[in-house]
Amino acid sequence: MAQSSDNNSLMAQAAKEALVAAAVSFGLFILYVGIETYQDINNALVWRTRWGLLAVFVVIAAVSRFLVVGFIKPHLDKRKRDKAKAGIPEVSDGKNFFQRNFLKIALIGLLIYPPLSVMLAGTQGSLKYVDNFGIQILIYVMLAWGLNIVVGLAGLLDLGYVAFYAVGAYSYALLSQQFGLSFWVLLPLSGILAAFWGVILGFPVLRLRGDYLAIVTLAFGEIIRLVLINWTAVTKGTFGISGIPKASFFGIWSFDVGAANNFTKAWGLSMSSAYYKIFLFYLILALCMLTAYVTIKLRRMPIGRAWEALREDEIACRSLGINTVTTKLTAFAIGAMIGGFAGAFFATRQGFVSPESFVFLESAVILAIVVLGGMGSLTGIAIAAIVMVGGTELLREMEFLKHVFGPDFTPELYRMLLFGLAMIVVMVFKPRGFVGSREPTAFLKERKAVAGSFTKEGHG
């Protein structure tokens, strides 16, 4: 009997909270959802009501609150209690084959991805899969891994990372057009220039920590973008730079249509841009692998250890004689260099750069990927990039949603909305990201996985 009365009071509470949620969401959405403003034929702003949509919002809020309070939360509490009763949480030593060889399988999968998509979708059809999904995701993986060095390893929150991406992209765009240098000369040069900017911007902010550092880097990112917009003599402002040369196959084959050593002609293939995209896919894959290799190696070197020590406790770090100035600057420089590589690649892939590609939102997206993946964890970040970027790319493909919500429905509009929501939801429920633990690089006797909650950023 006690059980059922317990249940009844739980349901009553859930119903009460659902009503509150309904009232609050009614208040929240009445103006913004319940009323639509639009311009009529005279270009004057007028309004009309959308009570139906408002009702949908309110009902969703009430029902989900009811479910959370009435069913999900008791269930979670019960599981937590059971876990606590069971004592030490299960440590799974017995990994299955897939878990043990995850990285190898993933790498092989990536290597055979372009030929596979050509086989399945045809030469032209593979464009979408290789370019929109493959290259797009890998660019973000690379950027996020680059930012991971700054944020995840050294614990310096950088909200202006996109500035280095922009420096790399504009370095390639301008130098290749002005001096006719090839991609393979400019790729390292773009990285070096970005690293140089990383040091320049890093130097003044050495004393700052945590939130203040974040805001200053945001300001620097915005300054670089505003200069790109306003310095029209060099950057052509908002029009951007178009006609950026394509990368060549190490100078042996060109991908320009008119060139004598055109790749498709040399191999007797039918004309298609798909080959260039496949080449770019392997190029960015190689760049990503380079980034991962550098990160893994650096973590085992004194500088990597110094970064992680700096992240854990700056004061302790200083008192142990670690030079925090060079430690921070190298983190900024290496992170920026990787951003610069990615930028040069981005410029050659798009053939067009404009300040529009380097807005603050882009920095936020990259940071979100790093955080959602679990700071410091390369695998987690890669998974987060696939989920977030691939997921939002997938939204574009969802034609069937048009049949559900009517022909005016454009899924792309919801891209950033969902992205922001994902950031909030993951932070609230899983603040350590998808992969919340990481393998330590330094250990006594045996290697134990460290729970993410032991690692902190910046503030000791």
Partner 1 sequence: MEYFVQQLANGLTLGSIYGLIAIGYTMVYGIIGMINFAHGDIFMLGAFAALIVFLILTSFFAGIPVALALLVMLIAAMLMTSLWNWTIERVAYRPLRGSFRLAPLITAIGMSIVLSNFIQVTQGPRNKPIPSLVTDVYHFGNITISLKQIIIVAVTAVLLTVFWYIVNKTPLGRAQRATEQDRKMAALLGVDVDRTISITFIMGAALAAVAGTMYLMYYGVATFNDGFIPGVKAFTAAVLGGIGSLPGAVLGGLLIGLIESLWSAYFTIAYKDVATFALLAFVLIFKPTGILGRPEVEKV
Closer to partner 1 by CB, 249 or 360: give it.
Answer: 360
Query: Smallest gap, in angstroms, from Cβ of residue 123 to partner 1?
Result: 37
Query: Smallest gap, in angstroms, from Cβ of residue 368 to partner 1?
Result: 7
For partner 1, the binding residues (CB under 8 A) are 24, 27-28, 31-33, 35-39, 45-47, 157, 159, 204-205, 207-208, 210-212, 214-216, 218-220, 222-223, 226-227, 229-230, 315-316, 360-361, 364, 367-368, 371, 413-414, 416-417, 419-424, 427-428, 431, 456-460
Query: Smallest gap, in angstroms, from Cβ of residue 219 to partner 1?
Result: 4
CA 133 to CA 277: how far, in whole Å?
11
Closer to partner 1 by CB, 167 or 287: give it.
Answer: 167
CA 455 to CA 460: how far, in whole Å?
9
CA 199 to CA 325: how far, in whole Å?
11
Query: Smallest gap, in angstroms, from Cβ of residue 342 to partner 1?
Result: 21
Query: Smallest gap, in angstroms, from Cβ of residue 216 to partner 1?
Result: 5
CA 205 to CA 221: how far, in whole Å?
13
Phi, psi (deg, nearest 5) at residue 249: -80, 80
Query: Smallest gap, in angstroms, from Cβ of residue 5 to partner 1?
Result: 29
Give the number of C-alpha atoms closer than 13 A to the C-alpha of residue 174, restricted to the C-beta side: 18
Closer to partner 1 by CB, 184 or 203: give it.
Answer: 203
Task: Using DSSP, state whether 207 is helix, strand or coil.
Answer: coil
Closer to partner 1 by CB, 285 or 387: give it.
Answer: 387
CA 303 to CA 441: how far, in whole Å?
13
Q: How far, in whole angstroms, is CA 415 from its chain's centroid? A: 13
Task: Using DSSP, state whether 437 is helix, strand or coil.
Answer: strand
Query: Smallest gap, in angstroms, from Cβ of residue 95 to partner 1?
Result: 28
What is the DSSP track for 6-59?
HHHHHHHHHHHHHHHHHHHHHHHHTTTTTEEEEE-TTS-EEEEE-HHHHHHHHH
Closer to partner 1 by CB, 207 or 448: give it.
Answer: 207
CA 392 to CA 136: how far, in whole Å?
11
Closer to partner 1 by CB, 13 or 124: give it.
Answer: 13
Closer to partner 1 by CB, 282 or 360: give it.
Answer: 360
